[in-house]
Structure formats: C-alpha cells, structure tokens
Amino acid sequence: MACVTNFDDVTVIVTESLSKRFPRVTALDRLSVDVGPGVTGLVGANGAGKSTLIKILLGLSPATEGRAEVLGLDVASKGADIRERVGYMPEHDCLPPDVSATEFVVHMARMSGLPPTAARERTADTLRHVGLYEERYRPIGGYSTGMKQRVKLAQALVHDPQLVFLDEPTNGLDPVGRDEMLGLIRRIHTDFGISVLVTSHLLGELERTCDHVVVVDGGKLLRSSSTTDFTQTTTTLAIEVTDTDAHPDGTRAVREALHARGVAVLDGNSGLPGAGHVLLLTAQGEDTYDVVRDVVADLGLGLVRMEQRRHHISEVFTDGDATDDQQRKEAVNHGS
Amino acid sequence: MAVEHPVTAPSGDQTRIHNIGYRNYDGPRLGRAYARRSLYSQSLRGSYGLGRSVKSKVLPMLLFVVMCVPAAIMVAVAVATKADELPVDYTRYAIVMQAVISLYVASQAPQSVSRDLRFKTVPLYFSRPIETADYVRAKFAALASALFVLTAAPLLVLYIGALLAKLDFADQTKGFAQGLVSVTLLSLLFAGLGLVIASVTPRRGFGIAAVIAVLTISYGAVSTLQAIADAQNSTGSIAWIGLFSPVTLIDGVQSAFLGATSAFPGGIGPSDGEGVVYVLVVLGLIAACYGLLMRRYRRVGL
C-alpha cells in the first residue's frame, strides 16, 4: 500500500488526553492521538466514541478535559475556522428528498461561504468526481442508497476542504458499492489532495484504504499504527475446497497437507453452518498463498475460495503486540 | 465551467477531451455572515415554493392570491363607485384575513424547520461556519419576511388603488404606514410562534395541526369568552381576555396605538394603559420565541 504524503510531516489532528464525559457515560477517556496527512481510519465498535470525537474535532461539543487541534487550530476557540476548512459526511441520512442533488449541493456550498457562481461550478465538478451524472437533476428521493452516499460525500467535498470527516461512509452499501466508495475515499487523498478521517466498525475494509488506522474502544485508544503493520500481523485467509473420490474429506486432507508443510491452520469450527468446510489460516506474507495453491493442486482438489477475512475489532486484541499490550495496561490503569 | 481542451478537429466534429482532473478552489470564502444570508434567501424563497417542486409552490402561491384578490376587488369597487374611502381600513385587513394568514404560517413554518429536522439536514448546517444563532435568525427572519410579503402586498394593492381613486393622499399614506407597522408586528409574532411550534416536531403533519390549533382555536376561544363577557356587561375584562390569542393581541395593539377600530365585541379596544401591556406582551412573546428557538437548536447537535 503506497503511502502518499503530499505535506511534510504536518499533523492534521492532534488530541491530548481528550476526555468527554456525559452524566452517565464516558464517551472519550484521555484519548491522545496524532493523525498525519493521508487517509486515516478510525475504527471502533458502535458506541466506542467515534462520533463524539468527530463532534469535538468540529468544535461543536466542548471536551470535558484535554485539548485538541485540527489543522493547527484549537477546537475550543477556533471552531468556525475549522469548520470552514473541513468537510463532514454524517453517518445518518441527511438529504431532503424533494430537491435535486445539484440544488442541494449548491446550497451547501453557499453555506460553506462559496460565492454563488463558484458554488455552482464546484457543485458540477464535485458531483462528477463522486460519480453522479445526469441523475443529479432529479429529486434525491428517487436515488439508490449508493447514489445518496455519493451526494453526502459531494456536500462534504464541495468547498474543497483540507480535511474531511467521513462517518461510516460504507454503511448500508452492497459489496460492490462498498468497494466503489472505498476507492473514492482513496482518491480523495491521492487525486484531490484532501486528508481523510474515515470511521468504520470494520477494520478489514479500512486496512485496504487507509495509510494509518486508529482503533478506539470504550473511548480509549487501543492502537494507532500504519496499516502495513496491521496487514502483516492480522491477515487471515479462509480456504474452502471440494471433495474428490481420492479425498472424501478434502478439507481434512488439505489441513493435514498444510500441517506437513509447516503452515498452522486455525480452528475453523466456529459453530456456524458449513464452518467445518472452511479452513482459516494466518498468512505469513505472499508465500502462504503459493503454498496453499500448491497443496490444493497436488491433492487434485478444486479450490472453491481463498479470501482474506474481514476482521472485527476484537481481533486486534488477539495479537500479542508489545505496544498494544502496553496500551491495554494503560487503559486498565486508567480504568481503576 | 469545465476546462476544455479542444482537440484539433479538422472535420469539425464534436470530439473534445475534457480535463476531468480535480481542481482545487482558491477563490474567496465569504464566511458566516454570507452563509447566514444564503440560508435566509433560500428559506424565504422556499416559503413560496421557489427552488422547490411544483407541488410545493401551489399552496403558498394560492394563499398569496387569496390574500390579494379581496383587496383588488375592494379597490375596483372603490374606484367604480367613486367612494370617498376604502371599504376596509389598512389595519383591519389582516384581521379580516387572519384565517388565510394562519393557514400560511401553519403550512410554511413546518416546511421551513421540520424538514431540516426530519431529514436530519441540521447537522450539515452546524458542521459549517454558521452557529445556532445564525440558523435561528436566518429562519426567523425568512419566515417573518415571507409573512410580511403576504400581509403587506394586499395593503400595497389597497394603497395604490386608493391613490388611483384619488382619495386623500395624506390620509391614505398615514393609514398605509400604520397598516405596515401592524403587519410587521403580526409577521414577527406569527413567525415566532409558528417556528417554535414547528421546531418541536420533525413531523410536518403535527406541526401544521399544532400551529393551526394555537392560532385559530385560541382566537375562537378568546372571541367566545369576549362575547360572553360582553353579554354579561363586564366590558372591563374584554380587553384582558384579548391578551390570550395572537390575533387579538395584534388587534389590541393597533386599536390602542395605530388608529384601528377594534374587532373586539362592542368595538371597544384596550385603553392606552392596557395597550402598553399589549405591546409589551407582543414584544415579550417575540423575544420568548427567539429564546426558545435558540434553546431548541442548542440541543440539536450532530
């Protein structure tokens, strides 16, 4: 994964022991994180504090303690300046159904301070860049979920911000739509030169898109590292093979053959239907793929699938990373 | 304004290569005040369905016509019969047409604010430079302006008609000015009440019903009580009862200070002292509506 950095070591977002407490819940607990330019994933389960963090970074909700800067501007005092330079795509639906995408995005461009003519030009450009063409003149009410997500993205980009916050942009999309959206997010940085902070509860999809991933849980920082670190340690392959007359239980044959070749196979019996036919193994780089291919071919079996499994946050806990352990210890200390 | 690089087209065909690369924007960013003005003009246009679907233009435009047609007829009658005064006072016109005005507020206040709440567009506004106060002011000013257009337009028709009929210029101008002051207060008061009620619910239907209930039912109740008080000869209480509905409030203010004849039973408006209370209540209500809207939107985050 290419690490694209147009700016020289500028930090886009800095938080220092940022906390946000509500009467009943602690949404953020002494979160300290540095985010550089590029595409940064913010991963956490629902309720992990992602949306709260974005609200604070937009200067809309005061932090209980700690401080934060966005683009070098303090969130507590420079909220309006920050909001002029960043874009925000909310997680929820936010589009009125009875206006066209063009009208809506023009209005939002003007709300960001663009003069009328510039607002219209930027709207036409931005809608084209997110992949909306003739349909942009039709009322939004008739759009598919994928098109609506594109309009939401367009309104976040229309004023050419330096940074965009995308809150769960792949929510509700089918796999193809998901991939298109992820590709678009990648382009926001590589082609448009805009830094991105994108949230998701799926680590797997952010691994492929982001330069850097920040994992939060229960308002605490679990881990912050570049995605290359993640992929090296957490890629899990799922393999499914056919049975033949020579090998009535193909799965077992492959398991044994892989074992003989020194590739550890994880326990695939997760209790799900058909799980017995799926082998899970940890990929140790490119070689593993070749080994699997050779083993399956040697046995004369058909390879039904070999895919990277999408990880959930829980798996971040399972790898014995030293820094991770330290983070967790800190978290425990904080909790007590 | 996509930058186009026309390829040498010897045969004059339409072949062009469009430069579809991303272009950065380095033009001016006009900031908060401009954004607030944009929201104001968008909301004001929206109140008459401009920039929205054809369907949403029907009701506001229809109500606008309904407001103006009686004024035009009165003018026609006055000109034709060479009357020496208009059939209705400038200040009285809005009171006579109050049902139409209430209907307009009921339909457009929810249109203005409930839509933003229902479709959750509000967070998009607040993720931009504007703040709560800007949003509330823009929406308040836009609806009040829309109401002013609705209520002042027929007065303008009357005034022009009166001048065409060669009625006394000074007299008519004074009446027209008093009428404008009265409808300005009415616009602010109705807009405030309408928006406060509509901003509570994201459901447009509830908003419409609630606004009609507050504006019309309160007027019905107050008028009935006033009629009962009149029948029982307790004329002193008529003026005080009038404080409890928006229409009678405006009626009280203008009959005390703007030379209007009161629509209260018996035609007796509030005295000067009571009139001061009326003015204070109207201004207090407008301020309270503004305060409530501010409070309402401070709690609407992302």
Q: What is the pLDDT of residue B179?
A: 94
CA distances for A249 relative to A92, A252, A274, A290, angstroms: 47, 6, 13, 22
Q: Which residues of chain B neighbour A128 with C-beta distances below 8 Å?
A: 20
Sign of CA dihedral A38, A39, A45, A47: positive
DSSP sequence for B45-100: HHHTTTTS-HHHHHHHHHHHHHHHHHHHHHHHHHHHTT-SS-SS-HHHHHHHTHHH
In degrees rounded to 5, what are phi and psi of residue A197?
-115, 115
Q: What is the pLDDT of residue B300?
A: 65
Q: What is the pLDDT of residue A236?
A: 74
Question: If you compute the radius of gyration of chain A from its CA atoms, what whole number of angstroms results?
Answer: 23
Q: What is the pLDDT of residue A255?
A: 83
If residue B295 lies in a helix (H) or strand (E), which one and from where to where? helix B272-298
Cβ distance A108 to B52 less than 8 Å, yes or no, reads: no
Q: What is the pLDDT of residue B80?
A: 87
Question: Tokens standing for A189?
Answer: 């940085």
Q: What is the pLDDT of residue A310?
A: 55
Q: What is the pLDDT of residue A271?
A: 47
Length of chain A (residues): 336
Q: From A85, A95, A59, select the one nearest A157 (Cα to Cα).
A: A85
Eight-class DSSP state of A245: S
- Where does chain A hold its CATH 3.30.1370 domain(s)? 235-301
Rounded distance, CA A275 to CA A48, Å?
30
Mutation for A interface: B36, B38, B41, B120, most A CBs within 10 A: B38
Length of chain B (residues): 302
Rounded distance, CA A148 to CA A144, Å?
6
Domain A235-301 carries which CATH code? 3.30.1370
Determine contact: A94 vs chain B, CB below 8 A: yes
Interface of A with B in 34-93 (CB under 8 A): 51, 54-55, 58, 60-61, 80-81, 83-84, 87-88, 90, 92-93
Rounded distance, CA B173 to CA B170, Å?
5
Q: What is the pLDDT of residue A125?
A: 93
Cβ distance B27 to A128 less than 8 Å, yes or no, reads: no
In degrees rounded to 5, what are phi and psi of residue B133?
-60, -40
Question: Tokens standing for B17?
Answer: 């290569």
For A10, other C-beta atoms within 10 Å of its C-beta total 13
Q: From B290, B54, B287, B213, select the one nearest A99 (Cα to Cα).
A: B54
Cβ distance A55 to B302 less than 8 Å, yes or no, reads: yes
Q: Confirm if B104 and B92 have CB atoms less than 8 A apart.
A: no
Q: What is the pLDDT of residue B8?
A: 44
Q: What is the pLDDT of residue A320?
A: 41
Q: From A127, A123, A95, select the one nearest A110 (Cα to Cα).
A: A123
Q: What is the mean pLDDT of each run of 10 residues along chain A (336 residues)?
A: 46 91 89 92 86 90 92 91 93 91 95 95 94 92 94 96 94 89 93 93 80 87 76 68 83 84 67 63 77 86 77 50 43 40
Determine contact: A6 vs chain B, CB below 8 A: no
Q: Which residue has the tokens 């979160």?
A: A31
Eight-class DSSP state of A136: G
Buried b (16+ CB within 10 A) or exposed e, B56-73: beebbeebbebbbebbee
Q: Confirm if A222 and A324 have CB atoms less than 8 A apart.
A: yes
Q: What is the pLDDT of residue A9?
A: 53
Q: Chain B closest CA to A222's CA: distance in Å?
A: 25
Sign of CA dihedral A46, A47, A49, A51: positive
- State yes or no: ipTM above 0.90: no
Q: From A233, A234, A299, A232, select the one nearest A260 (Cα to Cα).
A: A299
Tell whether domain A13-232 is in CATH 3.40.50.300.
yes
Q: DSSP H helical segments within chain A, as ranges? A: 50-57, 79-85, 101-111, 116-129, 145-157, 175-190, 203-209, 227-234, 250-260, 286-299, 314-318, 322-335
Q: From A218, A328, A314, select the one nearest A270 (Cα to Cα).
A: A314
- Where does chain A hold its CATH 3.40.50.300 domain(s)? 13-232
**A101-111 and A145-157 are packed helices; what angle lies between their axes, rounded to 10 degrees?**
30
- Interface of chain B against chain A, CB under 8 Å? 1-2, 20-25, 27-32, 34-35, 38-39, 42, 51-53, 56, 115-116, 119-121, 123-131, 301-302
Q: How far is CA B186 from the centre of its chain?
A: 8
Q: Confirm if A163 and A154 have CB atoms less than 8 A apart.
A: no
Rounded distance, CA B167 to CA B175, Å?
12
Cβ distance A111 to B27 less than 8 Å, yes or no, reads: no
Identity at B287, one-letter amino acid code: A
For A312, other C-beta atoms within 10 Å of its C-beta total 13
Rounded distance, CA A312 to CA A51, Å?
18
Eight-class DSSP state of A275: G
Residue ranges for chain B with pLDDT beneath 50: 1-12
